[in-house]
Amino acid sequence: MAGAYGRNDGSANIQTISVAVDYTQGQSAAVTIGRLPKGAVVDDAGVTVTTAFNDGTNKLCNIGTSSDASGFASAISLATIGRIGADDMATSNDLYDNTQEVTCIFTHARTGTAATAGAGIAWVKFFVPAN
């Protein structure tokens, strides 16, 4: 499994889980960014694109959970380098789960000519409230 395990270290500090992604991943199967501990609150998510994706028509991705693949970001563009922030955070109902660990995923929603370039780091920032 790719990605990392987030942890509840009792500090309530912002933590990040992340995974390197490239143009060959995320189309036929989701890429696991990592797992959030029970009770984690998602603060932000996105992709830092280091090499622009060059798919033919759409150079898009989703970031979310295993139960809602676009829960944090839906159809955000990977066409340019830089920090591409999640677009669905303000209205997401996937930001908190106090009943179980949550798996965060990246999917590449490309269409058209197959890509020959594209790389970045998909990430999710979170904290676990102090008790």
Which residue blocks in the chain are alpha helix, DSSP H? Answer: none
8 Å CB contact between 61 and 49: no
Whether residue 26 is predicted with pLDDT greater than 90 in this model: the reply is no
The Cα 59–Cα 35 span in angstroms is: 26
Mean pLDDT of 5-13: 75
CA angle, 125 as apex, 120 and 130 as ends, to 5°? 165
Residue 51 pLDDT grade (very low, low, confident, very high; cuts 50, 70, 90): very high
Q: How many residues does the chain have?
A: 131
- pLDDT tens-place string over residues 74-118: 999 999 999 999 999 999 999 999 999 999 999 988 788 888 999
Q: What tokens were used for 42? A: 């998602």
DSSP-derived pairing of the beta strands 31-36 and 4-5: parallel
The tally of CA atoms less than 13 A away on the side-chain side of residue 101 is 10
User: How much of the chain exceeds pLDDT 90, in percent?
Assistant: 75
pLDDT at position 1: 44
Of 29 and 104, the one with more pLDDT: 104
Residue extents of the structural domains in the chain: 4-115
Q: What tokens were used for 1? A: 């499994």
The Cα 126–Cα 40 span in angstroms is: 6
Whether residue 10 is predicted with pLDDT greater than 80 in this model: the reply is no
